[in-house]
Every structure is written in structure tokens, then in C-alpha cells.
Structure 1
Amino acid sequence: MSAPIDYLLFEEATGYAVFKVKLQQDNIGAKLKEVQSQISDLGNFSKMVELVSFAPFKGAAQALENANEISEGLVSDYLKSVLELNIPKGSAKKQIVLGISDKNLGPSIKETFGYIDAVSNELVQDLLRGIRQHGDKLLKGLQEGDIERAQLGLGHAYSRAKVKFSVQKNDNHIIQAIALLDQLDKDINTFSMRVKEWYGWHFPELAKLVPDNYTFAKLVLFIKDKASLNDESLHELTALLNNDSGLAQTVIDNARISMGQDISEQDFDNLLVFAKRVVSLTDYRKSLYNYLEDKMHTVAPNLSELIGEVIGARLISHAGSLTNLSKQAASTVQILGAEKALFRALKTKGNTPKYGLIYHSSFIGRASSKNKGRISRYLANKCSIASRIDNYSDAPTNVFGQILKKQVEQRLNFYDTGAPTMKNSDAISEALALYNDLDVEMGDASDDEKEEDEKKEKKEKKEKKEKKEKKEKKEKKEKKEKKEKKEKKEKKEKKRKSDDDESPKKKKKSK
């Protein structure tokens, strides 16, 4: 039989509450209907537990901080102070039994307070359910609806903090970009075929002369009606055809003898609008590819350096995230993308696939047919290492990817010539040496930048000081001038008054 529960810790969105258990249920009859109904009844439940203390949080920030600590199974300073103040110290022989809702918090409490034994069983959960149900009445100083509002606010803040990733290391954008890139490739190919078929009714010979879809769509926008092509169009046509004047002349000659039919102006308008869309989609596809390259070099520089940006992005997308990819074993990375073939082989007891998405890597293309499986296994191993370095390193660098790529090159050479491959320990040592050198260079650069910043600050302070001094001098001068003017004015007024007083005396004398 388990020891009786002395106290309960109730973690609420509004704060921490400590309850003393006065009357405990029997473990054997805990599931009975009558016993469960006692918990739902406030009158009966208030006889079972008594509030010792309720310590509310000072604000939403403190509530979020404590929620994060509890989710990680840690005792925060605030929780520590609450337990110290409200639970009496026991002894090594007689420990205080504390009921908690999250069992992951138990070891931390046991480590912090040696005299407290934290438990989380069915009986504790039943009692905490009762406290949660009657929380408005049991917790003092709370009004109706306060708990619900606090729970909603804390829930939003906690979810926001968990979902929020580092801006630099966010791989969600890579997953969306590679998915959009694949979709654009399909759509552009379909739309280009439609443009070729549509414009082929007017100028069928052009499709054979210019097989490239993007160039064909741009030519459609330039040529429009084939009858408008003449020798004056040669220069502009050559520019569109990568400065191939011979091909441009061939296009003009074929336009004159073309078997195509004439198209009305309204049909041309629709065709040209569609061709313009194809060109704009292709241009956007190029800019999206550049964006994906930049993003991969920021988020997964080593994986990009080793296997390429597109294949690396596909691996991340297929795994779900860079973190998921880093957790995968090398054997799983090897067959990512070939799950159907794997399960079919397991079902029919056939040969399992040797490669999945990494088949598109140039390393496997360069290997001979008998060595393709070997190099794919080796490459998957290096991809797994690169993804782990990318995911768990703080500063993005492609140094490790360069060394791993060098190892794969040496392995390819080993299959052909038998030359030994660099050992992993030597490879990592070389990469770390390069990384440290890079850090030193960056440190020197940052020191120079600091010196420049300090000089700039000194210069700015000096300028500010000079401006302030000039301003003060100007103000003093103005004050002095005002004072002098005032004194002059006062003297004039005194003189005038004295003159006014003297004038009647002079008149009397004259009389």
C-alpha cells in the first residue's frame, strides 16, 4: 500500500497553490461511483482538502517562464520559494508526500528538497481534478472567469513560444520552396507544350528550330504574326537566340515559306497573354531557385556543400524538418524517397532498394554500376553527419561539408584506383582547424570593426561637445547683449525721469 498523501501542488495559469490533504480516499474504492461523486460535490470535497497557500504570478511573463520550466521538468526559483514556505520540513525517516500532476517534475523536486517525495498516481490525479473543478471557490482572491482567461492567455503565449523558431534556422520555408519549385517545373512544362501546340497552327516550323520552352515563348511574344518578320528583325531576333545569327536567319527564312495558317487578331491576343504568363512563370522559377540556394546556404550549409541545394532541400522536405533528418540513421537517409519500393521488396521478399532521393546526386552518377550501392551508402553516411552538424551548430559554416565532400571524392577514387580514403578522425580534425582559422579571421575583422566603431563614437562625441560649447557660447553672448540692452534702456528711462522732474523747477525760476 502506498504512503498517504500529505500535500498537493496545484499548478495553475494564475499561480501555484498548495493544499493539505485532510481526508484521503481508499485506493481500493477510489473508482467507485459513490467515491467519484464526492469529488464532484464541493461540500464533500472541501472536507478532503484545505488550502494552505495560493501564490499568484506577478504577470503573464512570469507565468510563461514557470510554464516553460515545468514543461522541461525543472523547479523554478518561484516554485522553490513557494514549497519552502508552505511545506514543513520532514526528516530522512519520515518524508513528506507531495502529490503533483506532472511526473517529470518529481525527480527535480526530490533533488531540490531531500525530505519531499513527489508522487503522481491515479489518486493524486483525482484530487487535482476536484481542485480544478472547484478552483473558483477554493482559491481565494479569484473571481469567476479569471482562471479561464488566464489559461487562454498562457496557452496562446506558450504555443507561440514553442512554435517560434530562429529566423536564421527556419527550415519551413525550404520545405515550401522546394515543393513550389517541383510544382512550377510541372506547370511550366505543361503550359509550354500548350503554347507550342497553339502557336504551331500558325508557325509549325519554329518548334523544331527552337526546342527550348522559355526561348520559344519569348519568340512567340516577339514574332507574333510570322508575316511581320523581315531582314530588319534579324538583329533583335539574334539577341533573343543567344546571339546565334545563323539560327535567326533560318527562322526568318522559314517564316516566309511556312505552311501554317493565319490566325485572327482575337486569337492572337489570347495566345500572347498565355505566352506572357509562361515567360513570367519561368522568370519567377529562376528567382525562386536563387532564393532556395541562399536559404539552404543559411540553414544547412554543410548539407548543401556536400550533396547540392536541391537534393538537400528534398531530403529536408521528405524528412519533415532538418531536426527530423538529423535524427535519422544513415541507412534511413539512404532510402528516403524509395519507401514504396522498400515495402514492396519486403512484402515480396525481393531485393531492397539501394538509394532514394540521393540517386540524383552526381556522385552516384559517376560511380560504375557495381559500385552505385556502395557509394550511396557512404554518401548517406556523410549526409547524416552533415545534417547533424547543421542542425546543432550555432554559427552556419560550410567547412565540414567541404571536407565530407572531399572524403566522398576520395572514396570514388578508391573504387577506381585503390588509393586510401581519409579517416573520419583526420577529416574532422582538418575541418576543425579550418573552422578555427575562419573564427580567427572573423574575430580580427570584428576587432577592426570595433576599432572603427570606437573611432566613430569618439568623433561623434567630439562633434557633439563642440556643438554644445558653441551653443553655450552663443547663449552667453545673447544673454550678455540682452543685459546690456536692458541696462541702456533703464539708464535712458532714469535720465528722462530726471529731466521731467527738473523742467518745472526751471520754469519757476524763469518766472
Structure 2
Amino acid sequence: MTKLYILYEHAAGYGIFKVEEFEEIAMLLPQLESAVHDLARFNSIVKLVGFSPFKNAITALENINAISEGIVTEVLQNFVDISIPKGSKRDKITLGVSDAKLSAAITEALGITCSHIGAVPEVIRGIRHHHHNLIKGFTDKSSGVAQLGLGHSYSRAKIKFNVHRVDNMIIQSIALLDQLDKDVNTFSMRIREWYSYHFPELVKIVPENYTFARLAKFIKNRKDLSDDSLEGLEEITMDSGKAQAILDASRSSMGMDISIVDLLNIEMFATRVISLADYRKQLAEYLKSKMTDVAPNLQTLIGDQVGARLIAHAGSLTNLAKYPASTIQILGAEKALFRALKTKGNTPKYGLLFHSTFIGRAGTKNKGRISRYLANKCSIASRIDCFSETPSQVFGEKLRQQVEDRLKFYETGDIPKKNIEVMKEAMEELEQQVKSEKKKKKKRKAEDLDETSELNATNGEANGEPPKKKKKKKSISLNETIEAEVSMDTTENGDGSAKKKKKKKKNKEQAE
């Protein structure tokens, strides 16, 4: 007869329950489901064996984090070992656990056979429903308070990680950047239409939206333009020819006259558009800095905005790292993919990767091939960025060079380097960088120590204390150094031989 014990993890502590007549219950699952809602019937099936409460909130959080990762803590191991019978009886016992990872960890640690299927989920559901009634001195209110407190601390601990590598900021900033591009575009078109009633010739001379808004703010009434305002026009357009053309057009314009109130409104609107465009530039710089912190290799491979769009579409950098290269290739073209699968047509070759410069530079025949190759390199770069502790751009530069070489291979036929060779070179470069950084840190520490010692000495002199004498380094002669080296060799290799003694004499003679 196998006996079933159930391990239940609560916010207040661990509980182990014994299930009576397990084999009969396993055969009658519908009756068990109905008994879950009735406390009297459920009490006859499930009996409490032991309950181990957590000492404080910190231990509760540590245990719940370990359980979520499938790790058996010392508290849980000791409690299970004490609560379940030992010896030959343990072989006939099955421990019911809610998580498959945790059950595997318990069997490995304690040698108890665990199960998470069959009648176990239904029994755990019943224990969860009647938990506050099964344990003495425990109420529904206290149970809810414990669960709420642990839930808050657990979610807070999951959110807390490296502040400098938060990919959520990239997702929000790229979404805002796209929205700003649309808004600035629509607003600048509105300015064009609005100001063109007064000065229609300006649209043909200045096609750029940003410069048009700046000129509309600067010119205001076209009749006020004179030779003195030519310098201001040149500063905005950065072209003397255009500035002269604007001045000439203002003198012979076909536009209607405009009131002061309308000009004021146009000027206010133009300032808003200019400020939005300036903020858009600042946001682009912020996105660049965040990408260098979070995903430097992906940034060097395909650029700031394409890399940020990939991360945003995947949901996070970890999700992007989990995707295979085939999924990254068609990210952003899901509708076209499912349409092609439904109609049995040609599947799309690229999604968001189309905005990369590599696909634009490739020929029409090679666009699909280079997008597949680029997606492969993007998956490698995202995985390196996600799982590396020290972020660096070495791998991104090497991967970018590989894509460049592949483009040359499609055009000229020059065989590029193998991936293993390139990765070895990148690893060597990374090791050299780490060594150089360590040396720089050591130098900085030494300089800081020297500065502090000098400051202390100057402060001591100011206070009237005598300056501390520097210890003179003992001058070691060449003979002594040679003797020391030879003696070191003899001690390392055992007793000195006759040949080494001859070497000593020769070195002494040469030194003299």
C-alpha cells in the first residue's frame, strides 16, 4: 500500500498533509472534486501531519524564490525529512508536490519518490481552499495578510535587477520616438498649409519640415524682410543661395495679407513644433546611450533604432535572446506570414530587419539570403548582450564585419572567414580589453593613494608636525640579484648541481 503525503507551500510556512485511502481516491477523481468544496468530507480525506512556520518575511521570501527556481532550501529539507517516516516505510511513500522541478529536486536531495500528476493537483486545490481551517490558530484574514505581504515582496524582488541594463526604458523610448515622428510630421504639414496662405513660395524653396518651421517663426510677416535679415536666413538655411531666393520671393510673393493675431498663432505653433523636433533629437541620443548600456553588440550590428524595435517587438531582451534566428528574421511581418500560410503563398523574407542598411545594399536576388544571415547574427548578439556580465562592443563589431564580408562574397565571390575563427579573435580582444582595464584601475588606485598621502603630508606640515621620512630602498647589486635568481632555481628544482655552480661563477665574473 503506497501512502500519499502532500507538501503545501504557503506564505506563512510549509505544511505536510497525509491523504487517507489514496488508491481509492485516485480511482474516483469526480468524487474528490466534489469533496473539495465540502470541509467535513475533505477533513476525512486529508489530515495535517506537520506545519513549519517561517520566522520572518526575509526567510519567507528566500524560500519562495528558491521554490520558484526549483531549489530545495535547508528549511524545507529538514522539515520534509522530519515529517515523513524514515527507513523501510519511506520506500512506500509518495510525496505530492505542485511543481515538477521541485519534485525532481526533492527526490535528488532526500530520495523520496515525488508526484505532481493524477489526484495530487486536486488535493492541493482542496488544501489551498481550506488551508485556514486545517491549521489551528490560523484564520482567513491572517492567511490573506501573509499572502499579500509575501506577494508584494516577491514581485519587488523580481523587478529589482541591474538599473543600468533595463530594457523597459528602450521599449518606451522607441515607442515615443515613433509617435513623435508621426506627430512632428503632421504638425509640420499643418504649418506648411497654414503659412502658405501668406507666403506660398517658401514651400518650394525649403522642402525640409524643421527648417520651414524655423523660417516661419523667423520671417513672420514677409513684408518685413529686408537686406538686414539676410544673415538670419543664412544661419537657419545654412545656404546663402537659398537665403537670397527667400528674400527675392518675399518681395514678389502672390500670398495674401495676414493679420497680427494670425501671425502670433502661427509663431506659437511653430515654436511648439521646433521644441518637439529638438526633444526628438534628445530622445534619440538617450536611446543611443541606453542601447550602449543594455545591448551594445546588437547596437553595433544593426544600429540603435532597429535593435530597439526588435527588443520592443519581442517584449524584452531576454525574450529576444530566446527566439531562434528564423523568428527574428520575420519579427514584424506576422500578418504577412499567416496570410501566406493560409493562402499557401510565398512567406515573407524579412520584417523589422528590412530597415537595416545591409538589406538595402544587397541585390534583389540576395535580399532574402542576407536577411537570413543577418537574423542569425542578431540572435548571437542578443544572447551575448543578455547573458554576459560585462557588456562590450567587441562581438558586435566582429559580427558586423562578418555581414560585410558576406555581402562582398555575394558580389565578388571572396570566401569570408569561418565563424569559429572570428569568435576566437573576439574572445582574445575581449581578454586584452579586460586586462588593460584592470591595469588602468590599478594605476588610478595608486595615483589616488599618492594624492591622499601628499595631502596628509601637507596637512601635517600645516599643523606643525614634522614630515615623515621616506624609507630608503636598499640598493641591490647585480651580483646579489644573480645569486638570488640562481638560489631560487636550486630551491625549486631540488639540490643544486655542479653545472649550476659553474653558472654562478661565470655570472659573477661577467658582473665584475
The TM-score, its normalising length taken from structure 1, stands at 0.84
User: Using the alignment, how far apart are the partners of 1:118 and 1:57 within structure 2?
Assistant: 23
User: Using the alignment, how far apart are the partners of 1:179 and 1:332 within structure 2?
Assistant: 21
- Asked whether the equivalents of residues 238 and 248 of structure 1 are also in contact (C-alpha less than 8 Å), the reply is yes
User: Using the alignment, how far apart are the partners of 1:177 and 1:118 within structure 2?
Assistant: 47
Provide the residue aligned with 2:3 in structure 1: 4
Amino acid at match of 2:59: Q
Amino acid at match of 2:3: P
SS at match of 2:8: strand
User: Using the alignment, how far apart are the partners of 1:163 and 1:31 within structure 2?
Assistant: 39
Show CA shifts across 1:172-209 (max 9, x none): 22122222212211221111111011111111111111
User: Using the alignment, how far apart are the partners of 2:236 and 2:87 within structure 1?
Assistant: 88
> Relative to structure 2, which stretch is displaced further, 440-449 or 353-362?
353-362
Unpaired runs of 5+ residues, structure 1, are 471-511
Provide the residue aligned with 1:318 in structure 2: 313
- Asked whether the equivalents of residues 188 and 273 of structure 2 are also in contact (C-alpha less than 8 Å), the reply is yes
User: Using the alignment, how far apart are the partners of 2:458 and 2:82 within structure 1?
Assistant: 57
Show CA shifts across 1:181-240 (max 9, x none): 122112211111110111111111111111111111111111111111111112222211
Amino acid at match of 2:28: A
Is 2:180 the partner of 1:184? yes
User: Using the alignment, how far apart are the partners of 1:341 and 1:47 within structure 2?
Assistant: 58
User: Using the alignment, how far apart are the partners of 1:68 and 1:147 within structure 2?
Assistant: 19
Is 2:236 the partner of 1:232? no
- Asked whether the equivalents of residues 218 and 240 of structure 1 are also in contact (C-alpha less than 8 Å), the reply is yes
Provide the residue aligned with 1:55 in structure 2: 52
Amino acid at match of 2:233: L
Provide the residue aligned with 1:481 in structure 2: none
> Relative to structure 2, which stretch is displaced further, 455-464 or 262-271?
455-464
Give the deviation of 1:22 after TM superposition.
Answer: 5.1
Identity %: 53
Amino acid at match of 1:66: N
Amino acid at match of 1:345: A
Selected match of 1:307 from 302, 305, 322: 302
Provide the residue aligned with 1:283 in structure 2: 278
- Quote the RMSD (CA, aligned, Å): 2.7
Provide the residue aligned with 1:124 in structure 2: 120
Amino acid at match of 2:148: L
> Relative to structure 2, which stretch is displaced further, 406-415 or 424-433?
406-415
SS at match of 1:54: strand
SS at match of 2:3: coil
User: Using the alignment, how far apart are the partners of 1:196 and 1:137 within structure 2?
Assistant: 73
Selected match of 2:245 from 240, 245, 250: 250
Is 2:165 the partner of 1:166? no
Amino acid at match of 1:3: T
Matched ranges for 1:76-225 at <5 A: 76-91=73-88, 94-114=91-111, 116-225=112-221
Q: Go from structure 1 to structure 2 and tell me whether the alpha carbon gap of 1:251 and 1:425 turns closer, same or farther (over 3 Å shift).
A: same
> Relative to structure 2, which stretch is displaced further, 11-20 or 290-299?
11-20
Show CA shifts across 1:22-55 (max 9, x none): 565723663455x666554545544444433322
- Asked whether the equivalents of residues 295 and 382 of structure 2 are also in contact (C-alpha less than 8 Å), the reply is yes
- Asked whether the equivalents of residues 54 and 140 of structure 1 are also in contact (C-alpha less than 8 Å), the reply is no
- Asked whether the equivalents of residues 23 and 49 of structure 1 are also in contact (C-alpha less than 8 Å), the reply is no
User: Using the alignment, how far apart are the partners of 1:467 and 1:128 within structure 2?
Assistant: 76
SS at match of 1:53: strand
Give the deviation of 1:458 after TM superposition.
Answer: 5.8
Is 2:366 the partner of 1:371? yes
User: Using the alignment, how far apart are the partners of 2:216 and 2:190 within structure 1?
Assistant: 13
Is 2:348 the partner of 1:350? no
User: Using the alignment, how far apart are the partners of 1:386 and 1:150 within structure 2?
Assistant: 43
> Relative to structure 2, which stretch is displaced further, 328-337 or 431-440?
328-337
Show CA shifts across 1:419-473 (max 9, x none): 1101001100110011111101111112223334545666788899999999xxx
Unpaired runs of 5+ residues, structure 2, are 466-512
Larger Rg: 1
Q: Go from structure 1 to structure 2 and tell me whether the alpha carbon gap of 1:362 and 1:29 turns closer, same or farther (over 3 Å shift).
A: closer
Amino acid at match of 1:410: D
